Amino acid sequence: MPGKSTAHTYPRHWKRPPLLLTHPFWRKVILLGGLVYLILAIQTIEVDWQRVYLGLERGWRFVQGFLVPDFTSRWNDIYAGLLESLTMTVTSTVAGILVSVPIGIGAARNLAPAPVYLACRGIITVSRSFQEVIIAILLVAMFGFGPFAGFLTLAFATIGFLSKLLAEEIEDCDRSQIEAVRATGASWWQVVNYAVQPQVMPRLVGLSLYRFDINFRESAVIGIVGAGGIGATLNTAIDRYEYDSAGAVLIIIIAIVLVVEYSSSYIRRWVQ
Amino acid sequence: MNHPSLNPQWQYRTPKQSLLRWFGWFWLVAFTVVCWQIMNENTIWAFVSDAPQQAADIGGRMFPPAWGYINNLWQPLWDTLNIATLGTLLGVLFAIPVAFMAATNTTPSVRFVRPLALLIIVSSRSINSLIWALLLVAIIGPGLLAGIVAIGLRSIGFVAKLLYEAIEEIDEKQVEAIRATGASGAQVIDYAVVPQILPAFWGISVFRWDINIRESTILGLVGAGGLGIQLNASLSTLAWNQVAMIFIVILGTVVISEWVSAKVRQAVL
């Protein structure tokens, strides 16, 4: 067939195939569905532009308050809130770790018998599925306003986070070390202490520091529903339209989060 | 023969190490106790001690949940989904340029632009969406828009941080290969960087969407629309059986969104 070789021309242009959703039909369906959803969703937003316009002046005052924060005039409130937040963070992290270590060991399939495993996994699921704020609402209703309810909330949330990750870490342990220690005739406690604990300790320290960081951030939020801490101070400042004090509180929160994050990454590197 | 030096016993740590450890633990415990004391200065223990009764009381009021109340919840639920989805879109839209400015290998200037991008990431990440919502409700008024913007502002830092870490981990050889063809800066990003980070990008976005669904259920507590408004109304009228129903709806939404996000991430990664 001589004609075939003469008609053989290479394409001069290359079109990149789609990177995602390679099937043409599904691509069209999904894109169209997304578009329809977007139109429907945007229609549900009711914006009162007059209110937004009025609010712009407040927004500007907030920006000014953030740039020129006022630490002094509400310093007593800020100090009290900050002290509550920090002490709440420390105690709840420590209490959370103390409770989550046994639960984490119980939720590791290679160390715990089936009934214990299921019970511990159940506790973890319950703790993880509810938001801190919702738990705080319930605990404030039970224990009254103040940092004690916040302490319980954060400790409870810590359990779900830490136990789950600790259990996964224990399940990923090197089996040969456990076997070696067991072969010496060690009891269950000794296996946990000499074979598992050295392997998971660096990770546990790292996770605890990370959770400390999260707990501090959350302690700023649960104050809004009455569980003590800097969140209550912030809420009051915004309710009074004192944006310069609110800006000061936000700057302090950001600074503390930064300090905690940097020092915890430093300690984690030192431990590991 | 029973002299200790002739009959050494194995120990986990040297004496110095264990002494150091002991002091470390001692200070940690002491510090915690001090914090506990300061924290509970104003705690009224009478309220704490009758908590089991309160819990039983609330539990009793919650128990049969107000099933019929679900008909009032469809609209707020739809609002909640919209807040989370549109907020995620908004956040992702702003996070992409911030991530490219923050990654050391794509930033226009390491000295000037990168610190600015990192500052945006840190301030967005440190402040919870509920606090953003609190501010925005005061500024632009209550409603869905405040919620969407709050979720968006909070998502910028999260998405940008994970995305810029993904950008920094890309294979530089592919970038070099594309650059060798004479591609411009934008073309290098389009053909060398984007294909490498796209799976991570979808994974991060869906992960954040999942978190945003959780967070948008409570934004209404401060007036930013969604299920939280109903929750606030039921809480302030002490209608605990309605509260229980709202909790069930929230739990269901969270479980479904977690399932969807896990499926999508499995398909993409």
Give me the residue from B47, B126, B144 closest to A253, CB to CB: B126
Taking an 8 Å cut-off on Cβ atoms, the answer to whether A221 and B128 are in contact is yes
Chain B residues 159-188 with CB within 8 Å of chain A: none
What residues of A are in contact with residue B58 (Cβ under 8 Å)? 138, 141-142
Distance CA A270, CA A138 (A): 39
Give the per-residue pLDDT at A104: 92
Distance CA A89, CA A259 (A): 15
Tokens of B168: 């920094």
Q: Say which residue the tokens 């609402």 belong to.
A: A137
Angle, to 10 degrees, between the axis of helix A75-106 and the axis of helix A197-222?
A: 140
Q: Which residue of A has its CA nearest to B36?
A: A91
CB-based contact, B115 to chain A, within 8 Å: no
Taking an 8 Å cut-off on Cβ atoms, the answer to whether B222 and A224 are in contact is yes
What residues of A are in contact with residue B85 (Cβ under 8 Å)? 37, 41
Distance CA B96, CA B164 (A): 9
How far from B217 is each of A157, A192, A232, B213, CA to CA, in Å? 17, 41, 20, 6
Chain A residues 56-85 with CB within 8 Å of chain B: 56, 58-59, 62, 83-84
The fold of B73-268 is MetI-like fold (1.10.3720)
Q: For chain B, which residues make up each domain, given as ranges? A: 73-268
Low-confidence ranges of chain B (pLDDT < 50): 1
What residues of B are in contact with residue A155 (Cβ under 8 Å)? none
Give the per-residue pLDDT at A145: 84
For each of chain A's 272 residues, which pLDDT tens digit applies? 444 555 677 878 877 777 677 778 888 888 899 899 888 888 888 777 888 888 888 888 888 888 888 888 888 888 988 998 999 999 999 999 999 999 999 998 888 888 999 999 988 888 887 888 888 988 888 888 888 899 999 999 999 999 999 999 998 888 898 889 989 998 888 888 888 888 888 888 888 988 998 899 888 888 888 888 888 888 888 888 888 888 898 889 888 888 888 888 888 788 76
Give the per-residue pLDDT at A7: 61
Give the per-residue pLDDT at B162: 93
Taking an 8 Å cut-off on Cβ atoms, the answer to whether A221 and B251 are in contact is no
The fold of A64-271 is MetI-like fold (1.10.3720)
The DSSP result for A91-134, as a single string, is HHHHHHHHHHHHHHHHT-TTTS-HHHHHHHHHHHHHHHHS-HHH
Give the per-residue pLDDT at B4: 53
Give me the residue from B32, B55, B140 closest to A90, CB to CB: B32
Say how many CB pairs under 8 Å bridge A and B.
143
Taking an 8 Å cut-off on Cβ atoms, the answer to whether B145 and A131 are in contact is no
Distance CA A100, CA B111 (A): 43
What residues of B are in contact with residue A129 (Cβ under 8 Å)? 251, 254-255
